[in-house]
Amino acid sequence: MNWHIINAVNITAELCIICFYFSKLMRLKERASKTLTGLGYAAAGVLLFFSGIVFTVAGEAAIKIIIFLVLLLSLANAFYRVSFPKSLLYCLIFVIIVIISDIILISLLAFLGIGTPGDVVSEGNSGHIAGIIGTKILYFWLSVYICQIINKDGSDLRMQHWATILIMPIISVLILYIIFISLILNATERQMIVYIVSILGLLYLNISVFDFIEAYSSKLRLAILEQALKSEKANYALLEDSYGELRSLKHDIKNQFSIIQELLSNTDNIAAEKAFEGMKMTFDKYETVYYTGDVLVDTIINIKASEARKKGIEFSANIVTNRSNINSIELARVLGNALDNSIEACDRLASDNKNIKLDIAWKNAKYVITIINSSDYVNVSNLFTTKKNPLSHGIGMMKSIKSSVEKMNGVIAFKYENKEFRVDIVI
């Protein structure tokens, strides 16, 4: 039997599972064509083949795990749109999936008498083939399960929460590996039963942790929906107020036109000119209601515009959008935090010249958002490191904005010039 061919098929299957796992969690970079990505995976396959990584728990396990992790990180950061911390998280989760699958499968085959752990990890017997097939099945289904959890519930969790959650499976892997090395190689039938029970117990604990994530996320989503309902009511109130103002504006214009007409008929041009100025002031005092087609985003923009005007800040917006699959909650969070930051910056100014300009455009199938506000000096190169700077531009808020943008696989840039602070976002 040609074991080189078997190992090549095994590595190909493993790379297909890795590709599936990554594609469910990350999007390909625009410059990473399918051909280029395929070549990258092929190169990774060659490296795996010659490094001899078939089972991570066999031989020099620590070295194999490190090589495998570095390989995953290289693939993730070379071809996918993802930040390094998030790619590290995803890759660590997959490594844990692989280690747990290897240990469970090897232990199960040994318990069933199909082969000893030494047989399973060594070429030349049926136990090795059974181990290869079984681990790939476990890799795939555990990857499917984990991807569902991350995509459904994980987007609501911060990176530090995920790091805390990862402690449970990491400790479980260490416990299983220590028992595997010290016991399983020369285990009696009774010891084997105890070991299998231990595996099942640790699996139950890990599943319970992820069930807790789901319960927590469901509660969080409910709170978000309740907040969205409140926001929608607030937006409807703004629209109702605007409708009332429009009726009042119609009445005022009608009266002022009558006055101007009378003045012009009496050739009192100076008084008519003053009346025109009064009409302009009438137009200026009425607020504009902005519309994007998304209830949450509309609410945020209109509420923040109203807040700015109440504080004597001139607010203007130019909005050209298109419906997309973008996460409305994250987009509203980004706009809300960014506009809060702009309002606070303007509010701190001693000058009366306070303004905020919002521009939202839809270009090349992406949202392009620009927010410019009057501001004191801001050192944008030190934006996220300054802790005690009275002129700091909402450092905590900026970190939150940056985190939300990255969660949507977007990019953000900051700039300060001519007494204006500028935020550019592409999502």
And the tokens for 398? 């900026």
> SS3 string of 34-65?
HHHHHHHHHHHHHHHHHHCCCCCCCCCHHHHH
Residue 62 is predicted with a pLDDT of 74
Residues of the chain with CATH 3.30.565.10: 287-427
- For the cut 70, the answer to whether the pLDDT of residue 403 exceeds it is yes
Stretch 400-422: mean pLDDT: 85
**Cα dihedral sign for 29, 33, 39, 42?**
positive
Compute the distance between CA of residue 41 and CA of residue 55 in angstroms, rounded to an integer. Answer: 19
- For the cut 90, the answer to whether the pLDDT of residue 356 exceeds it is yes
Residue 395 is predicted with a pLDDT of 55
Q: Which residues contact 109 (CB under 8 A, 6 or more apart)?
A: 115, 120, 127, 130, 131, 134
Task: Kindly provide the b/e burial profile for residues 204-226, where b requires at least 16 CB atoms within 10 angstroms of the residue's own CB.
Answer: eebeebbeebeeebeeeeeeeee
- For the cut 90, the answer to whether the pLDDT of residue 401 exceeds it is no
Confidence tier at 371 by pLDDT (50, 70, 90):
very high
Compute the distance between CA of residue 115 and CA of residue 31 in angstroms, rounded to an integer. Answer: 47
Higher pLDDT, 256 or 309: 309
- For the cut 90, the answer to whether the pLDDT of residue 132 exceeds it is no
Out of 87-96, 187-196, 260-269, give the one with best mean pLDDT: 87-96
Stretch 176-191: mean pLDDT: 62
pLDDT in tens, 119-128: 666 666 666 7
- For the cut 80, the answer to whether the pLDDT of residue 416 exceeds it is yes
Crossing angle, helix 159-182 and helix 189-265, to 10 degrees? 170
- For the cut 80, the answer to whether the pLDDT of residue 3 exceeds it is no
Question: How long is the chain?
Answer: 427
Residue 370 is predicted with a pLDDT of 94
Rg (CA), the chain: 31
Q: What is the DSSP letter of 288?
A: P
Confidence tier at 161 by pLDDT (50, 70, 90):
low
Compute the distance between CA of residue 393 and CA of residue 386 in angstroms, rounded to an integer. Answer: 10
pLDDT in tens, 54-78: 555 455 667 778 888 888 999 999 8
Out of 169-183, 191-205, 268-282, 361-375, give the one with best mean pLDDT: 361-375
Q: What percent of the chain has a predicted confidence (pLDDT) above 90?
A: 7
Confidence tier at 386 by pLDDT (50, 70, 90):
very low
Residue 233 is predicted with a pLDDT of 66
Average pLDDT, the chain: 76
Architecture per CATH, domain 287-427, reads as 2-Layer Sandwich (3.30)
pLDDT in tens, 281-315: 666 555 566 777 777 787 788 888 888 888 889 99
Confidence tier at 359 by pLDDT (50, 70, 90):
very high
Residue 387 is predicted with a pLDDT of 43
- For the cut 80, the answer to whether the pLDDT of residue 138 exceeds it is yes
Among the ranges given (118-132, 260-274, 377-391), the one the predictor scored with the smallest mean pLDDT: 377-391
Quote the pTM value: 0.50
